[in-house]
Amino acid sequence: MKRNDIRSENVADRTAGGFNRRRFLRGLGACVALPAFASSAPTKLLAASSAGKLAATATGAPLRTAFLYFPNGAIPGEWWPKQDGTDFDLSRTLEPLGQFRRQIQVLGELDDRSALPQDDGSGDHARANGTFLTSVRIKKSATDVHAGISIDQVMARDVGHLTRFPSLELTCETSRLSGACDSGYSCAYQYNLSWSSPTTPMTAEANPGQVFERLFGAGPPGERIENLQRRRQEQRSILDFVLDDTRQMQRRLNPRDNDKLDQYLTGVRELEIRIQKAERLGDPKDPKVDSPPAGIPASYGEHLELMFDILTLAFQSDSTRVATLLLAHDGSNRSFSEIGIPEGHHDLSHHFNDKAKIQKVSEIDLWYVTQFARFLQKLDQTRDVDGNSLLHNSMILYGSGNADGNRHTHVNLPLVLAGAGGGTLAPGRYVRHGSKPAANLFLSMADRMGLENLPRFGDSTGRLGNI
C-alpha cells in the first residue's frame, strides 16, 4: 500500500469564514484536520465566498452551535437565580459556571409546549426528548414514528457544506431506534435528539474511539479498519502517519502559530491515549456490575469528558459547526455512586418533597453542570483564528426537556445559553422571557447561523428578542 502523497499545502476548500484553504495533515490512513492559523489567513477575516455569512462571525471566523441535553429536569429551587438581569447571583446548581458568569445567559420562562400531555396521557420522558429540538408533537406509537426535523438539522442543511461533516451527533447512551419505551412511545424518541426528517432520527455515536476514527481516519471503510488495526498492533499514534506533513507545515507557520499547532496536536494525542486506555480496560472487578460496551469508559464522568473533548477538537478544526450531545436520555435511571448516590436518578426525581431525595437530585444536577463547566473551560482556553476564544465564537445551549422532574412539567425549562455567538449575543444575564416557546429561541439562533429567511420553526410564534 503506497503512502497517500497529498500534502496539506495542496488541500483547498472554500468556506464562508474568509479562509481560502482548509488545511489537513495527511498520511497512510490518516487525515488530521487543522485549526485555522493567523499566518495562513487573510489580513481581514471577512466572508468572501458566495455563501455570504453562513455560520460565520463578523470577523469571518466560524460560528459554532451545539445542543447539550441532560435528563430528568432539575430541582427548580436550586436551579433558578433569585434576581434577574445582570446583577444575578448564580444558584447553587449553577455555581460551577461562576468563572463564566459573563459568558452565559440563564434563560427563564421558555416552554416546550409540544411536550405537554394532551389526549395521549403519560409518556413525558419520551415527549421531553423527542420534542426538545423539534418543537413538534410526536406520534404515540412504538412502530409508526413521526416527529419533526430538529433545529440542528435545519442548520446543517444550510451550512453543512462548509465543513467536512454537516453535523455531529454524539451520545453517552446506547442508541435505540426501535421498540417501545416510555408508555407506548417508540424508543427512537427517547434516545435521539437529532432528526433529519419526521421519520428519521440521526443515529448518534456513543463510542469515543469510533468518533475519533471518523474525525482523523482516512480511506474507504475496509481500508480504515485495516489501518486502525495496524496502528493498534504497532502501538502507534495516528500522528505518526502525518509526520512529513507536520514538518512541512511547521516550516510555513510563524512562531505563534507553531505553538498553536503543537498545542492542538498535543490535545489530539492526549485524547487518543485516553481512548486507547478505555478500549484496553477489561470487565469491572465486581461481577454483579454490568460491563459497558467495548470502547466505552467504565466511568460515566470519563465518558462525558471524552465526548466533550472530541467536540472541542471538531469545532477547533472546523470539522463541523453544528453538533448535538445527549448526556443521558430523559427517564435515565443511572446511579451516581462516584458521588455517593447509589439510587437511580429517575427514581429519585420523583421525590414527592422528600428532603433527602431532593438533596440527592440536587447533587446530581450539580454534577452535570460541573461537567458542562469543564467543557466551557476547554472552549474558553482555545484560541480561534481571530484571536477570540472558541467559546466567544459559539452558541452552546445546555438544557432539559423536563422542567420539574417530580411533576413532569415542560414549562420554564432549565436552559443556559453559553458563548457570545461571535459577538451577536449579550451574555452575563438571567432573563425571564415571559412564557415563550423555546422554538422562538431556535429561530433566533438560526438567524445568527445565517438562516435569516427561516419563516418559522415548530410551534414558534416569532423570534426571541433580548438574547
In this predicted model, what pLDDT tens digit does every residue of 381-394 receive, in sequence order? 999 999 999 999 99
20 pLDDT band (50/70/90 cuts)?
very low
Query: Which pLDDT tens digit goes with each residue over 324-350?
Result: 999 999 999 999 999 999 999 999 999
pLDDT of residue 292: 59
How far the first Cα of the chain sits from its last, in Å, is 54
Q: How confident is the model at residue 45 (pLDDT cuts 50, 70, 90)?
A: very low
Q: What is the pLDDT of residues 443-456, one digit of tens each?
A: 999 999 999 889 99
Q: Domain coordinates of the chain in residue numbers?
A: 1-52+214-295, 56-206+300-307+322-467
Tell if the pTM clears 0.85, that is, is over it.
Answer: yes
How wide is the angle at C-alpha 129 spanned by C-alphas 428 and 352, nearest 5°?
85
Q: Which helix (H) or strand (E) holds 215?
A: helix 208-216
Whole-number Å distance between alpha carbons of 59 and 77? 40
Is residue 288 over pLDDT 60?
no
- What percentage of residues in the chain have a pLDDT greater than 90? 72
Using one digit for the tens of pLDDT, what is the confidence trace for 209-261? 999 999 998 877 777 777 777 777 777 899 998 998 999 999 889 999 999 99
DSSP state for residue 142 in the 8-state scheme? S
Strand, coil or helix: 111 = strand
56-206+300-307+322-467 under CATH 3.40.720, yes or no: yes
pLDDT in tens, 366-416: 999 999 999 999 999 999 999 999 999 999 999 999 999 999 899 999 999
Long-range contacts of 270-278 (CB under 8 A, 24+ apart): 271/212, 271/306, 271/309, 271/310, 271/313, 272/212, 272/237, 272/238, 272/239, 274/302, 274/306, 275/208, 275/209, 275/212, 275/306, 276/209, 276/232, 278/208, 278/209, 278/302, 278/306
**Mean pLDDT of all residues belonging to the chain:** 88
User: What CA–CA distances, in Å, run from 4 to 8, 214, 215, 242, 278?
Assistant: 11, 18, 17, 10, 30
Across the range 431-443, mean pLDDT stands at 98
Q: What is the pLDDT of residue 65?
A: 98
